[in-house]
Amino acid sequence: MRIAVTGGTGFVGRHLIRLLLERGHEVRALVRRPERDPFRGSATIETVSGHLRDTEALRRLADGADAVVHLVGIIVERGSATFEAVHVEGTRAVLEAARSAGCSRFVHMSAVGARDTPDATPYHRTKARAEELVRSAGIAAAIFRPSFIVGPESVPIRVLARLHRLLPAVPVFGDGQFPIQPVWVGDVALAFAIATERAELMGTFELGGPEVVSYEEFVRAVGRALGRPRPLVHVPLPLVRLAARACDPLGPLAPITSDQLQMLTEGAATPNNAMERVFGIRPRTLEEALTFLSRRSVP
Q: Which tens digit of pLDDT belongs to each residue from 18-33?
A: 999 999 999 999 998 7
Measure CA of the first residue to CA of the last residue in the chain; give whole Å: 37
CA–CA dist 35, 31 (Å, integer)? 9
Choice between 254 and 205, residue whose per-residue pLDDT is larger: 205
Choice between 40 and 168, residue whose per-residue pLDDT is larger: 168
- Residue 111: closest CA among 130, 138, 95: 130
Sort strands 179-180 and 213-214 into parallel, antiparallel or unpaired: antiparallel
pLDDT of residue 295: 63
Tell me the average pLDDT of the chain.
Answer: 93
- Residue 147: closest CA among 196, 204, 118, 185: 185
% of residues, the chain, pLDDT over 70: 95
Sort strands 149-150 and 213-214 into parallel, antiparallel or unpaired: unpaired
pLDDT of residue 40: 64
The answer to whether 103 and 62 are in contact (CB under 8 A) is yes
Query: How many angstroms from the chain centroid is the CA of residue 289?
Result: 16
The DSSP 8-state label assigned to residue 230 in this structure reads -
Q: pTM of the predicted model, to two decimals?
A: 0.93
CA–CA dist 185, 58 (Å, integer)? 26
Backbone angle region of 46, left / alpha / beta, with phi > 0 → left and psi within -120 to 50 → alpha: beta
Q: For residue 175, what are the CA distances in angstroms to 202, 236, 246?
A: 39, 8, 21
pLDDT at 34 over 80: no
